[in-house]
Structure 1
Amino acid sequence: MLTMKSTPNHTGVKISGDYFDLDELNQAIYRVIGQEDQYYGYEGSRMRILGISYEIRHAAQGDRNVDFVFNGLHDHTMKQHGFIAPDKNIYFSTEILWPELIYAVIALKDFVKFYQEEKQFPLWDIHLPVISRFQSLVLDCLQGHVPQEEFAMILKSFNQPVTVNDYAIQYVDFLNLKYIGMTKQQREQSLSAIAMKIAVQDQDYTAFRNQVLAAAAPHKKSIHEITVQAEYPEDFEW
């Protein structure tokens, strides 16, 4: 079963599951976000979601964290059925920064909409429920770390018809780096504000986007092709 929990220092979210859980999620993501350049104005968002998919794929391959999780098998069950088996399953996991994951939840709304429009019977599609559960798990994890009244505002904002078409994805890097640089207490206090910034696209985002557009215009580049100058630290506490 796919699970999510905030990391010890609230820097991100630990996504855990067995091989099949993670592979199922990965396959659903690949299907829903479509092919390269399939959706004009969404290539940057697609790249960011693929970054998360990359981590999930490597987790499933055992390249990240390996955990042992109780599987519900008790001694009396083994005696009753006459066999001996491990009482723990192997789970794989990886950590994703909070701003990165929150943005993915928002961006996937647009991709899900496009995917549904291309399906004759989307209600019976096998991949859409997997994406929906992934989004719900992120929000459920977020709910456990922000005040209830603030979470209600976040949930309301997430339900607004805001598009990430031509989104300045560099803003996610800006929020990621800012969040990494905070103390644990500062992260706890600012998590809801960051979630709102991603969901609402406020004046700060608009000003940031205009700067990126100004940098892109002379070179006739797409907005997602402009790289940020700051670099991620090699090591930080999750």
Structure 2
Amino acid sequence: MLSIECTEQHTGARISGDYWDLDELVSAVYVVIGDENRYYDYHGARQRILNVCYNLRKAIQGEKNIELISNGVHREMLKRHNMIAPEKNVYFSVEILWPELIFTALALDDFIKLHNEMIDDSLWNIHIGIIRKFQGNVLDCLKYQLSDEHNTVISQLIQNRTLNYFRYATQYVDLLNLEYINLSIEERKEHLAAYAIRLMIEDEAYVILKEEILATASVTKNEIHELPLSMKYPEHIDW
């Protein structure tokens, strides 16, 4: 079963599951976000979602975390059925920074709407159902880190969300990631809600950053999503 839990230092959340849990999620995402040429003005958001999928794939390949989880089988059960079977399953997991994970959950909503409008508007679309469960897990994990007041605000913003990630300056997610990493654990607990909210509104910092990126893009003739930030991520993150 796919699960998402906050990391020990509140730097991000740990996504874990068995091979089929993670593979099912990644496969559903690939279907819903579609070909890279279909929704070109969402290319920045699409690329960030794919980066998370890349990390999930790395986890499946055993390049991240591996743990053994009890599967409910016990010796008496095996004796009763005269069989030999493992009592634990292999689970894979990977940590994702909180701003990155929140952005991913929100951006997937845009692609679900696009998929419904252009590909398949069935209420029983299995791929969308898998992604909705993932989004629910993210929100459920997030709410346990926040106060009731902050949860109410964020729930209302999600339900009434008007900002989509059409031609969004996704470099802003990097900016938030790097800011968040540099906070103390106490500051992360205190300000996590603010970081989630900043991903659902165009605040002053976002507007300034996007204007700078657009100015550079007009000179270099790059698309907005093609210009990286000059800031670098640390080689080691204390999760």
TM range, normalised to the smaller chain?
Answer: over 0.9
4+ residue runs of structure 1 moved beyond 6 angstroms? none
Query: What is the aligned partner in structure 1 of residue 191 from structure 2?
Result: 190
Query: What is the aligned partner in structure 1 of residue 9 from structure 2?
Result: 9
| Residue 121 (structure 1) shift | 4.8
Query: What is the aligned partner in structure 2 of residue 207 from structure 1?
Result: 208
Does the 8 Å contact 1:157/1:200 carry over to 2? no
Query: What is the aligned partner in structure 2 of residue 141 from structure 1?
Result: 141
Query: What is the aligned partner in structure 2 of residue 34 from structure 1?
Result: 34
SS state at 1:122 partner: coil
Gaps of 5+ in 1: none
1:100-179 to 2 correspondences below 5 Å: 100-159=100-159, 160-179=161-180
Query: What is the aligned partner in structure 1 of residue 181 from structure 2?
Result: 180
> Which piece of structure 1 moves more, 159-168 or 188-197?
159-168
Query: What is the aligned partner in structure 2 of residue 237 from structure 1?
Result: 238
SS state at 1:42 partner: helix
Does the 8 Å contact 2:102/2:196 carry over to 1? yes
SS state at 2:129 partner: helix
1:23 and 2:23 are equivalent in the alignment: yes
| Residue 200 (structure 1) shift | 2.0
Name the TM-score, length of structure 2 as normaliser. Answer: 0.96
- Matched to 2:149, the amino acid is E
SS state at 1:114 partner: helix
| Residue 120 (structure 1) shift | 4.5
For residues 109-128 of structure 1, give each alpha carbon's deviation from its aligned partner in whole angstroms, at most 9, with x where no partner exists.
11001111233452232211
Give distance in 2, aligned partners of 1:148 and 1:201.
Answer: 24
Query: What is the aligned partner in structure 1 of residue 221 from structure 2?
Result: 220
> Which piece of structure 1 moves more, 136-145 or 113-122?
113-122
Give distance in 1, aligned partners of 2:205 and 2:231.
Answer: 18
Give distance in 2, aligned partners of 1:40 and 1:90.
Answer: 38
SS state at 1:123 partner: coil
Alpha-carbon RMSD: 1.2
For residues 14-58 of structure 1, give each alpha carbon's deviation from its aligned partner in whole angstroms, at most 9, with x where no partner exists.
100000000000101111111112113111111000000000011
- Matched to 2:181, the amino acid is I
| Residue 72 (structure 1) shift | 1.1
Paired residue total: 238
Does the 8 Å contact 1:22/1:60 carry over to 2? yes
Percent of paired sites with the same residue = 44
| Residue 75 (structure 1) shift | 2.7
Does the 8 Å contact 1:154/1:199 carry over to 2? no
- Matched to 1:108, the amino acid is L
> Which piece of structure 1 moves more, 35-44 or 51-60?
35-44
For residues 190-237 of structure 1, give each alpha carbon's deviation from its aligned partner in whole angstroms, at most 9, with x where no partner exists.
100000000122232222212221221112221111110000010120
Does the 8 Å contact 1:177/1:232 carry over to 2? yes
Gaps of 5+ in 2: none
Query: What is the aligned partner in structure 1 of residue 87 from structure 2?
Result: 87
| Residue 4 (structure 1) shift | 0.5
